[in-house]
Structure 1
Amino acid sequence: MLEQFGSLSPANVQKWQFTEPKQGVFNYTQADDFVNFALKNKKSVVCDTLVWHQEYPSWLDQKKWTKEELLKVIDQHVYSEVSHFKNRCFSWNVVNEALNDDGTWRETLFYNVTGTDYIATAFRAAARADPKAQLFYNDYNIESPSAKSTAVENLVKTLKKQNIKIDAVGLESHFIVGETPSEAQQQQQMQAYIDLGVQVLVSELDVRFSALPPTEAGLVQQTNDYQSSINACIKVGKQCMGLYVWDFDDAYSWIPSTFPGNGDGDLWYANFTTTPAYDGVVSALEAGELKNY
């Protein structure tokens, strides 16, 4: 199974609550285990996540920060973590899910104290710590034209105007069977980001059923939905830097706990047998002459 993937990404162990559980006290033990395993098996590592409004340590909520203080904390955290993994991470999800679906800024601890300055601070710190790593902004519901996608485009423009390194936009691509944006819509939106001078990656692809068990027609649709993302990435060429699934099997999927009654969204079932969508993904990759993507 491992040989079918060219890259690996950790689910949680590089997130802030694990890597800096107490202010200024860093713990990279679990993350090092993951990264070392990936590199030992000759896989590139898509490192994840530096700044997110979830899975950050409780000490951040236990103090009333000034803007300057919190920006310094963000800078120190990002710089420390990226420095620790320098030359081991192919890329970093630097800032995750900073926008609401209507394109407005999500009101988080970081935004409420610093406005949008925390985003620039995080990207600057990551670039300073590892200039060779590919840095990306990551979000969901930005895979086709929408107010949120436009807001991401504006974010990219803003960072670039400030000469801040941003290399890519990560499209989470958490889809529902039968409600996935079309191949044409995904390709159009990918190209819109690319036209701004960044690459794209399909960063967390899964296509879940909203009701279980799936029907035969539903399994066919799920295969088509997976292929829409694969084909869109292939058609924009090398500017789509990768395709990643989240997770690869239903046994450890995040979906059932987040969306009760939903599931079977991955390429392997919980018993580790492959789904029809797996065969469809392999066919699409082979047709596009892409392997281990």
Structure 2
Amino acid sequence: MWNQEVLSDGLGKFWLARLTAAGDLVWQIKYDDLHLQPFGLEIAPDGDIVVAGMILNIVSSSEVHRFTGDGALLWSAAQDPFDEYPTQTSYHNLAVDAHAVYVVGQRHEDTDDLPIDHRVHLRALSSDGAPLWQFDRPPPDPVRVSVGGMALTGGKLVVSLSRHGVDFPFEPLPGYSLVTFDTAGGELSWTDYSLPAPWRGGAGPLVAAEDGGVFLAGGAVSEGQSVQHVARVGPDGAVLWSKLAAGHGVRDALLAPDDRFYVLTETAITSYDPNGSP
């Protein structure tokens, strides 16, 4: 088993590395012509590596790059912020299947109009990088939204969202949302979820579950306290279990070969069995 790591060196250069499961370096490559702040990486069914992120030092300019399993760049797809102005689009996560690359993020108009028109932006590219379709979905209420994660599960795309007040954009509203789409861009559902009072939550990474549902990892805050919030949601959108646990600043999550759901935070690594038991 190999692991991939993707990062920027802080000097505007993009690096990609491959390591064994034991942490031994297989290869690493610096791409002098790519100035990317990466937000997501997925391995395609054919072993290709797909990365999505934003161009460093340029506001809301998003890119997708596909590499071979050995790190050779196959193609790049970019959104030019100057062509789209005043629209700003930020890619924050992606999913890949044998036919397409799906990227998701936020989109809004950079104008003085209030309230700002925030939308969820979903775009599909073919396996060779050609545009297939795109879809914008405004939230049902006048709120700001930010994407936490996306998973391809049960033949559909599930996107997790945090909600923020228009007047206080850095303060999360209670709960989170999950939006599901089919792989042709058709919306299937938008569901809002709550957390126990007085916690306010944000959505984070999503991981596909075998039953077509998802595992979710996110954060929750209350009166200066910060914890992690984890949940399992079934294919019908019902919450099967939900927990608050120690650890803040969720960085990543995965479903491991031992069938446990692992969550990496800034302060802890926690794991849960499929029923939510530690």
> Is this a same-fold pair by TM over 0.5?
no
- Normalization by structure 1: what TM-score? 0.33
User: Which structure exhibits the higher relative contact order, with contacts defined as CA atoms closer than 8 Å and separated by 6 or more residues?
Assistant: 1
- Normalization by structure 2: what TM-score? 0.34
More helix by share: 1
More strand by share: 2
